[in-house]
Amino acid sequence: MTLGVVGGMGAHATARFYDLLIAKQTVAREQDYMDVLVYSKSSIPDRTAFILGHSEDNPLPAIKHAIQVLRNAGCGCIAVPCVTSHYFWDALDHVENVPILHMPDITAQFIQRRGLTRVGLLATTGTVHGRFFHDALARYQVELLVPDDQAQARLMDYIYAIKTGNTVDAQCLHDISTHLQTRGAQAIILGCTELYANNNANNIFYIDAMDLLAQAALDYCKKDERCGQHT
């Protein structure tokens, strides 16, 4: 089975997702790595701007088109390493009859297995306002805490700095995460694929949604007897 990746949201996140896929595989020869097609469609309009009503440029048609391109190329499973794009999930689920992995639900299942009941979320403002992460966690009886408006604005500056390759506020994640901990968060979800941190850094337990997506993609492909077979 070939995994299809809808990338470009943003470019750095897409590159890291592919790196995670490679790092999670143990192979005897290079031909044994999973086949992956990455469509880095950076022209997809800004998801948060559309969700918040700041733009009329709807990202959905471009995301659908990318999925269709990957399906037509023979991909049997799709991963979208952009959390905010899951706002459009109802319109994307099984586009072209190809399964699309759902990152918030994958993350929620992991949290349930760890026995956590209250977690914080670091994500785009589009994800926070879209509440699809809230809904996924609520299905597993997990309470979700989000930053206040001022902290959320600071986080968005941090995320967009990463997207454009600019200097980031190195203290940002720690400060916001610590505040969420004081409100009772047992762990912090890195709910934007631009975000990553060393786990347990500064006594903060981070849950990397993109890392979980990469593992889920590998697990899904392993179920198919064709995975790893080459002619």
How does pLDDT run along the chain (231 residues), one tens digit per residue? 999 999 999 999 999 999 999 999 999 999 999 999 999 999 999 999 999 999 999 999 999 999 999 999 999 999 999 999 999 998 987 677 899 999 999 999 999 999 999 999 999 999 999 999 999 999 999 999 999 999 999 999 999 999 998 988 889 999 999 999 999 999 999 999 999 875 556 678 999 999 999 999 999 998 764 444 433
Given 75, 77, 172, 192, the catalytic residue: 192
| Within this chain, domains 2-102+212-222 and 104-209 share the same CATH topology | yes
Per the DSSP assignment, residues forming a β-bridge with 207 are 189
**Contact of 87 with 102, CB cutoff 8 Å:** no
Given 75, 82, 172, 221, the catalytic residue: 82
H helices of the chain, where?
11-23, 47-51, 60-72, 89-92, 103-113, 125-130, 132-138, 149-163, 172-182, 209-222
* Known active-site residue 227: no
**Contact of 60 with 9, CB cutoff 8 Å:** no
- pLDDT value at residue 224: 64
**Would you call 122 helix, strand, or coil by DSSP?**
strand
- pLDDT value at residue 24: 97
Give the span between the Cα atoms of 45 and 59, in whole angstroms. 5
- 184: phi > 0 → left, psi -120 to 50 → alpha, else beta; which? left
- pLDDT value at residue 209: 97
Q: How far is CA 179 from CA 95, 120, 182, 203, in A?
A: 39, 10, 5, 13
CATH topology of domain 104-209: Rossmann fold (3.40.50)
Give the span between the Cα atoms of 186 and 51, in whole angstroms. 29
Per the DSSP assignment, residues forming a β-bridge with 75 are 2
**Contact of 121 with 128, CB cutoff 8 Å:** yes
Is residue 173 packed enough to be buried (19+ CB in 10 Å), middle (13-18) or exposed (0-12)?
buried
Hey, where are the domains in the chain?
A: 2-102+212-222, 104-209
Q: Return all residues near 123 (Cβ < 8 A) that are at least 6 apart.
A: 83, 84, 133, 146, 189, 191, 192
CATH topology of domain 2-102+212-222: Rossmann fold (3.40.50)
* Known active-site residue 75: no
Q: Which two tokens stand for residue 116?
A: 């956590």
